[in-house]
Each structure stands twice: as C-alpha cells, then as structure tokens.
Amino acid sequence: MKTRKLYNRIKSLRVERGLSRKQLADQIGVNPQTVGYLERQDYNPSLDLAFRISEFFEFPVEFIFSTCVMKPVSEGLRNTISSSLQFN
C-alpha cells in the first residue's frame, strides 16, 4: 500500500515564532534534519510526533497537517474578512 503524502504548515509556524530548525527539534524531541524533512514534506510524521508538534504550536493536528495542498493562512483570513465585510 502506498503511503499518503501529508502537507503541513510547520515551516510557516516555526518561522512565525522565530525558531530555528534546531530549536524546534529540541522542543519536539527530534533531530534538526527531521524537521527539515518534515518541512519539505519528504517525511510523514508518526502519530505521536504529529501530536507533539500540534501541542507545541497549540493548534489542532488538522490545522497543521492535511492530505490536500494547504492554502496559506493569510489567504484564508483574507477570504474570511472579505466575506464578513460584504453587505447583503
């Protein structure tokens, strides 16, 4: 059986918080190279690691990981704001 490709927001969340790959790796208990593999989507995390990442960033797993290509968070916010400003 072929493994599904997972897409993620790890890099954008890490950069937003001003963390290096090493700093994030230390926080979630992996090697910095693993963070690089995850960010490039060359490696799917175990369920345990996905939850550690989710807990560290304080976002639900499904906000960080998806089986579909993820739109940038800013695009989603822009669409939400635009639709809330439209008057009927």
pLDDT computed for residue 4 by the predictor: 87
pTM reported for the whole predicted model: 0.80
In 3D space, the residue among 13, 19, 20 whose CA is nearest the CA of residue 61 turns out to be 13
pLDDT computed for residue 26 by the predictor: 98
pLDDT (tens place) for every residue of the chain, 88 residues total: 888 899 999 999 999 999 999 999 999 999 999 999 999 999 999 999 999 999 999 999 999 999 999 877 777 666 666 666 765 5
- CA separation, residue 61 to residues 26, 49, 72 (Å): 19, 10, 16
pLDDT computed for residue 1 by the predictor: 80
What domains are defined for the chain? 7-85 (1.10.260.40)
